[in-house]
DNA sequence: GTCTATATACCGATAGAC
DNA sequence: GTCTATCGGTATATAGAC
């Protein structure tokens, strides 16, 4: 008889998700097989199917687990003291550090934007991102009341995410340097760009 | 004997790539099988293998074909007449329209950023994007000489690409509207954001 | 809770005829 | 240039013992 590797079903499920999350983040849904996951955990395929009914459910539970952890990572920055500029700066820094600190979350998000159907996108938007996006929306309204808040909120998070997204190809592009990948450098660049624009005073003072 | 569907090998290759490009864009490398592609083209698997040695080569040739078409789409906007603001505006509009006009190119690019190894990213950077990126770099240097040009160039294209990337989830996020997906709306928003920043005159004049 | 063994389908790739 | 037929491997998923 095979000895029990995990005492409770929850332990086994957690161990499986701990392996499946990075695998799905790196290789996508169809790039990961049940065999890969079960081998990474150190259990048989049948054992994995004992805990998850099918591959799709395993994927969705992986997404769920990976995303639920992050929902609390960004507390409401609108409730912190300070001017609107300070709160914007704080949000950008926190969001950049959060996203660069956990690559799995960002990679899974990007893959979902590519692969998910409308029902799953709706689920993500309404049950995962809604609250956090609303915070950015409020910040955008306060800082730039005349502009479309939705477009502005997308731009704020998009600037940060795209810099992280292009990290692997940067060093091969002209004038790309290693330091461009540091969260603090990205956050500072995004903050200055957003607050001052390109043309003010003949160009940004990125050395500030 | 089976009748010849294509007279020349080039015709067959073009027909195959015409089907494989959108399939790879939508489903990724491991989400597409040789069977899918051959069925979509209307030929047998063996015929496909007569034109391409293996699946990986088919994928790389698909990328190559899809990307080569776009290299000329963006002519050097720095050589057009007008002020730097006008040239920035022109670049943003052209780039936005180019990217929203051919979803396959953008989707393949995003998938490559997720899936490609370093050698393929280097190939993409140096043989596909180098020249165009250099143009954006020059524009960034001229417009914002005090700021890091690399970071600024990434920000300019990133703003546009992220708005397109999030198109499918927008309508499910707070205050998302259908018109936010129009290329002209995105381009105008990006231009105003870049040139004026968030805080100037108490907020952007997005209605201009 | 975990296993071995197996069912069934699909995968990438090839052989050889026409 | 295209096909049918097929190989060996792997995919997801299940049955049933312990």
Distance CA B111, CA B21 (A): 12
Answer whether any strand D atom is within 7 A of the Cβ of B45.
yes
Chain A 98-157 residues in 7 Å CB range of strand C: none
CA distance B169 to chain A (A): 6
User: For every one of its 208 residues, what pLDDT tens digit does chain B have, with 9 covering 90 and above?
Assistant: 567 889 999 999 999 999 999 999 999 999 999 999 999 999 999 999 999 999 999 999 999 999 987 877 776 677 788 888 999 999 999 999 999 999 999 999 999 999 999 999 999 999 999 999 999 999 999 988 889 999 999 999 999 999 999 999 999 999 999 999 999 999 999 999 999 876 664 444 444 4
Question: In this complex, is the C-beta atom of A56 within 8 Å of any C-beta atom belonging to chain B?
Answer: no
Low-confidence ranges of chain A (pLDDT < 70): 1-2, 75-76, 198-208
CB contact under 8 A, B169 and A113: yes
The four Cα atoms A155, A156, A158, A164 give a dihedral, to 10 degrees, of 150
Distance CA B129, CA B134 (A): 8
- CB-hemisphere CA count at 13 Å for B180? 26
Answer whether any strand C atom is within 7 A of the Cβ of A18.
no
Q: Which nucleotides in chain D have some atom under 7 angstroms from a protein Cβ?
A: 1-6, 10-16, 18
Distance CA B149, CA A110 (A): 26
CB contact under 8 A, A113 and B165: yes
The full set of domains in chain B, from first to last, is 9-65 (1.10.10.60), 72-202 (1.10.357.10)
Residue B68: its H or E element: helix B55-71
CB contact under 8 A, B146 and A192: no
Q: pTM here?
A: 0.95
Distance of CA B162 to the CA centre of its chain: 11
3-state helix, strand, coil in chain B (%, to 5): 75, 0, 25
């Amino acid at each position: 008889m095979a000895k029990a590797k995990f005492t409770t079903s929850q332990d086994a499920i957690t161990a499986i998700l701990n392996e499946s999350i990075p695998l799905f983040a790196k290789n996508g849904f169809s790039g990961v097989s049940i065999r890969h996951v079960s081998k990474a955990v150190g259990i048989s395929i049948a054992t994995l199917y004992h805990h998850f009914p099918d591959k799709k459910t395993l994927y969705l539970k992986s997404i769920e687990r990976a995303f639920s952890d992050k929902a609390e990572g960004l507390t409401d920055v609108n409730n912190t003291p300070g001017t609107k500029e300070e709160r914007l700066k704080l949000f950008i820094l926190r969001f950049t550090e959060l996203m660069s600190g956990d690559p799995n979350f960002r990679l899974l998000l990007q893959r979902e934007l590519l692969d998910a159907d409308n029902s799953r996108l709706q689920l993500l938007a309404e049950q995962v991102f809604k609250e956090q996006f609303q915070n950015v929306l409020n910040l955008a309204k306060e800082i730039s009341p005349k502009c479309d808040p939705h477009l502005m909120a997308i731009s704020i998070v998009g600037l940060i995410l795209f810099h992280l997204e292009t990290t692997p190809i940067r060093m091969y592009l002209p004038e790309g340097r290693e330091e461009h990948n540091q969260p603090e450098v990205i956050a500072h660049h995004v903050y200055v760009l957003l607050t001052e624009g390109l043309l003010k005073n003949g160009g940004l003072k990125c050395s500030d």
